[in-house]
Amino acid sequence: MSPEQLVAVLTAITALIAAVGAVYVQVRQTHKLINSRMTELLELTKSSAHAEGVIEGQQPLRYRKEPSDHP
């Protein structure tokens, strides 16, 4: 292998490692963003369900909605 070929191979390997590193960083950022959005959604759902339960608990039994069999 000539020195020029060796330099070309080393340059290509270095570029490949840099590209894989950049992809890894981007995937981690996307993962973090999705997890934070899911956490936010779960917290909002929890607080909403709790508030709904509090309101339902304050109503007399005769005014409460019956659970339906259909969604």
Task: Give the pLDDT of the chain (71 residues) as one tens digit per residue.
Answer: 899 999 999 999 999 999 999 999 999 999 999 999 999 999 999 999 998 888 888 877 666 666 665 55
Q: How far apart are CA 47 and CA 28, in angstroms?
A: 29
User: Quick check: 53 and 45 in contact, CB under 8 A?
Assistant: no
Which region holds residue 32: left if phi is over 0, alpha if psi is between -120 and 50, else beta?
Answer: alpha
> Domain boundaries in the chain?
27-53
Name the pTM for this structure: 0.56
Encoded tokens for 11: 């340059």
